[in-house]
Amino acid sequence: MIKYIVRRLIALIPVLLGVTLIVFTLLYFTPGDPALVMLGDEATPEAIAQIHEELGWNDPFWVRYFHYVVDLLHGDLGQSYTNGRPVFELLIERLPKTITLALISTAIAVTLGIILGIIAAIKQNSIFDNLCMLLALVGISMPHFWQGLLLMLLFGVKLGWLPISGWGEVGNVILPSLTIGLGSMAIIARMTRSSMLEVINQDYINFAKAKGQKSSRIITGHELRNALIPIITTIAIQFGNMLGGSVITETIFAIPGVGKLMVDSIRSANYPVVQGGVLLIACIYCVNNLLVDVIYAFVDPRVKTNLSNAR
């Protein structure tokens, strides 16, 4: 198992290198001159040229990429063009907010999603089932920003229960978490339902019934444990999406997290920050995937056997 984890961690290196290459290339070809942003409208051509020279922007693409990767290996993500602070510091400062948001959203999505999914599966084809699945469909179809705006309008403006922007108080977390979490909740609910329905008809569920087990224990002890396997994948993918979704949600709700930092940086052509941000989220994504594969082995013993047989 430990061998497997180490192998997976080593395999992360080329993936992350790939990420740096893609991000670097994209930003390289993005029009707009960061030097203009740094110096303002009054910049003289000489000053711009000087900055280009200082930052090595006149070098060819591969040389610039090479320098970037070497710096990365030294733990240097570069400095922000706008205020000169190290990118690493900027990101670490904002990361807790983004992670908090993603975790709370995941918690909401997972708890509600699984509960709704189970009830829908048990009461298959009932009114409750149909209602749940209709809501889930709405949840999946509605884009985050639109959901966010509607929530703001209802709870912030009309009812005035919750603050519509900012960070720092408990109330600030609720609307953005809901915005990010509702879509995922809908997907998890649908996944749970179909996964449960598949398990409910298995022979081993009948075996559990024949043993005289209570229905409630059959659901939690036998059905859910098996149904959970595909649900975990969904949750993991959703967690990644929530991190990505934070870009939009943080902007809408004016939360000073990594997502908002990236959007602001794109607007000001602050490339090192954008690169750093994307790399950070990619890292979290990869670790998240690895974590899921490890959790798999614990939920499904067959996976564990395969892992130990593989070596």
Partner 1 sequence: MEEKKTTEPVSEQAVMTVKDLRTALKTRQGILYPVDGVSLEIPKGKIIGLVGESGCGKSMMANSIMNLLPKNGYVAEGSILFQGKELTTCSKEERRKLSGNRITLIFQDPMTSLNPVIRVGKQVEEVLKLHKNLSKEEAKKTVIQMFTDMGIPEPERRYYSFPHELSGGLRQRVMISAAMICRPDLLIADEPTTALDVTIEAQILKKMKTLQKEEGTSVLLITHDLGVVAEVCDLVYVMYAGKIVEAADVRELFHHPRHPYTEGLLNSLPSRNRGRRLRSIPGVVPILTEMPEGCRFAPRCPYATDACRQKQPEMRQVGDSHQVRCVLDRELISEGGEANG
Contacting positions for partner 1 (CB under 8 A)? 202-204, 206-214, 222, 225-226, 299-302, 305
Q: At what angle do helices 61-73 and 2-29 cross, to 10 degrees?
A: 140
Cβ-count burial of 247 within 10 angstroms (0-12 exposed, 13-18 middle, 19+ buried)?
buried
Residue 107 Cβ, how far from partner 1 at the closest point, in Å? 24
Q: At what angle do helices 87-122 and 127-141 cross, to 10 degrees?
A: 160
Q: Write out the DSSP string of 111-127.
A: HHHHHHHHHHHHTTTSH
Cβ-count burial of 149 within 10 angstroms (0-12 exposed, 13-18 middle, 19+ buried)?
middle
Residue 210 Cβ, how far from partner 1 at the closest point, in Å? 4
Using the minimum distance from each CB to partner 1, give the nearer residue, 33 or 129.
129
Residue 219 Cβ, how far from partner 1 at the closest point, in Å? 13
Contact 48, 35 (CB under 8 A): yes
Residue 265 Cβ, how far from partner 1 at the closest point, in Å? 46
Cβ-count burial of 210 within 10 angstroms (0-12 exposed, 13-18 middle, 19+ buried)?
exposed
Residue 121 Cβ, how far from partner 1 at the closest point, in Å? 12
Using the minimum distance from each CB to partner 1, give the nearer residue, 264 or 300.
300
Using the minimum distance from each CB to partner 1, give the nearer residue, 146 or 204.
204
Residue 305 Cβ, how far from partner 1 at the closest point, in Å? 7
**What is each CA distance from 263 to 37, 67, 84, 239, 251, in whole angstroms?**
15, 25, 18, 20, 7
Using the minimum distance from each CB to partner 1, give the nearer residue, 40 or 212.
212
Using the minimum distance from each CB to partner 1, give the nearer residue, 77 or 196.
196
Residue 239 Cβ, how far from partner 1 at the closest point, in Å? 23
Spatial separation of the C-alpha atoms in residues 81 and 242, rounded to whole Å: 28
Using the minimum distance from each CB to partner 1, give the nearer residue, 94 or 222.
222
Contact 213, 220 (CB under 8 A): no
Using the minimum distance from each CB to partner 1, give the nearer residue, 213 or 288.
213
Contact 236, 292 (CB under 8 A): yes
Provide CB contacts within 8 A for 219, sequence distance 6+: 118, 122
Spatial separation of the C-alpha atoms in residues 53 and 218, rounded to whole Å: 70
Using the minimum distance from each CB to partner 1, give the nearer residue, 58 or 202.
202
Residue 299 Cβ, how far from partner 1 at the closest point, in Å? 7
